Structure 1
Amino acid sequence: MATDYLKQHTRALHVQLDNLPLLVALASRQLDREQYHQCLSCFYQAYSVIETTLISSPQNKQPALAYQARLSNLRHELMQLGMPIPGSHDVPQLQISTAAHYWGARYVLEGSALGAKFLLPKIQLSLELSSPETLIFFSQLSQLANSWPEVITHINQIIILDNQKKEALAAAKKTFEIFHSHFSIKE
C-alpha cells in the first residue's frame, strides 16, 4: 500500500524533524511562550511555501478531501500574540505536477495533524492556558486529524503503481525538507 511505502521511506526524515530543538521543546512540558512563538513562526514560513502550491494544484478540486488551509489561522494566532508575520527565506520549493506529488505532500501535512492532537494538551499545560481555543493553529490541526483515515484510504486508492509511489515519496521528502529547513534555522 502507498501509505505503508511512504511511512517506511520517510520514517528517518520524520525522526530527524521531531528531534530538532524547537520541536522537542514543543512536545515537552517545558515549552515557554518564546519557544511557542518561534514554533508558530517556523510553521508559518513552511506553510507559506507549501500551502500556496497545494491550493493552486488541480488535484485540490475534490470537495470532500480538499486541502483545509492553515496559513490564515497561523497568521491570526501570530497577530493575536502580537508577533510579527515572518518573512520568507530561501528554501526548497515544492513542485506539484501529478496527483501522486499532491498526495505525497498531503500525506506529510495530514499526518502532522495526528501529532497536533497529541501536542495540543501539552502546549495548553505548558503555557498554562485555561482553554485550548487560544491555540488556534493547533486546535485546527487537532480537528483535521479526524479526516486521517479518509485521507489514507484515498491515497491508497489512487497511488497504486510503483512510479506513482516514487513520485509521492519525492513530494513527501520535499515537504519534510521544507519543514526541516525552517525549523533548523532557529537552532
Structure 2
Amino acid sequence: MAELRTQLREATAALHAQVDAAFSGFALDQPDDYRRFLRAHSRVLSATEVALERAGFAELLDDWPMRVRRHSLLADLEELECRAPAPLQAPRISGIASCWGVAYVLEGSRLGGRVLARRIRQADPNAPVRYLEHGDVARLWPTFLSQLELAAPGCAWDPMLAAAQSTFRLFADAALLERDCEYS
C-alpha cells in the first residue's frame, strides 16, 4: 500500500493545481499584490491553526509551537500597514483524522515560502517575509511527514481526505477573494 502522504498528494492533486493557479495571479514583486497574497493566506491560516488547536492536534505534535505561523503572518501584514481580513470558516474538524488532513495542507503550504521570499526580497529588500521564511522547512516538513506516517494510518481515510480537500478549497477561495479587491 502506498504511503499516506502519497495517497493524499494523489487524491488532492487537482485541488492543489487549482490553488497554484489561483495564487499565480499575484505578482509578488508588486506591493499591492503581495499584500493581497498575505491577506489570502491570513483568511485561511489563522482560523485553521486555531481550529487544529481546539481539536487537540497540538498535543500530537510536540513541536506544534514551532509550526504556528499565524503570528508571523499577522506581523507581516501589520508592518505593511494592512489590516488582517475576516477569516474564512475553518474546515470542519470532526476528529484526529480531519486534523491530519488540514495539517497536511497547512504544512505543505510552507514549502515554496523560501523561494517566494527571495523573489519578494529582490523586488524590495525591506519587505517583511517572516511568514514565508517561517521555520526550518528542511526539518519541519520531513518531521511532519514522519509523524503523519506513524500516527495517522489508523485514522479513517474519508474524513482525512475531506478535510484536506476543504482546506485546499479554502486557499483557492481566499486567493480569488483577494486577487481583485482593495486592501485596507
TM-score (norm 1): 0.83
Q: How far apart, in 2, do the equivalents of 1:179 and 1:2 lie?
A: 22
Runs of 5+ in structure 1 lacking a partner? none
SS in 2 for 1:72: helix
Percent identity over the alignment is 24
Task: Choose from 37, 59, 68 the match for 2:57.
Answer: 59
Would you say 1:2 and 2:4 are equivalent positions?
yes
Runs of 5+ in structure 2 lacking a partner? 180-184
Kept after mapping to 2: 8 A contact 1:25/1:31 = no
Q: Counterpart in 2 of 1:33? A: 31
Shift of 1:137: 1.0
Would you say 1:156 and 2:149 are equivalent positions?
yes
Q: Counterpart in 2 of 1:86? A: 85
Shift of 1:158: 2.1
Q: How far apart, in 1, do the equivalents of 2:51 and 2:89 lie?
A: 12
* Runs ≥4 residues deviating over 3 A: none
Q: How far apart, in 2, do the equivalents of 1:25 and 1:117 lie?
A: 19
Q: Counterpart in 1 of 2:71? A: 72
Shift of 1:93: 3.5
Kept after mapping to 1: 8 A contact 2:39/2:178 = no
Would you say 1:140 and 2:134 are equivalent positions?
yes
Q: How far apart, in 1, do the equivalents of 2:11 and 2:115 lie?
A: 23
User: Matched residue pairs, number?
Assistant: 176
Would you say 1:171 and 2:163 are equivalent positions?
yes
Q: Counterpart in 2 of 1:42? A: 40
Q: Counterpart in 1 of 2:125? A: 129
Which residue identity lines up with residue 8 of structure 1 in the other structure?
E
Q: How far apart, in 2, do the equivalents of 1:60 and 1:117 lie?
A: 25
Shift of 1:121: 1.1
Kept after mapping to 2: 8 A contact 1:37/1:83 = yes
Higher percent of residues as helix: 1
Kept after mapping to 2: 8 A contact 1:159/1:165 = no
RMSD: 2.1
1:107-133 Cα shifts (integer Å, max 9, x gaps) = 1111111121322212211x2316x7x
Kept after mapping to 1: 8 A contact 2:48/2:91 = yes
Kept after mapping to 2: 8 A contact 1:100/1:165 = yes
Kept after mapping to 2: 8 A contact 1:103/1:168 = yes
Shift of 1:25: 4.5
Kept after mapping to 1: 8 A contact 2:49/2:70 = yes
Which residue identity lines up with residue 43 of structure 2 in the other structure?
Q
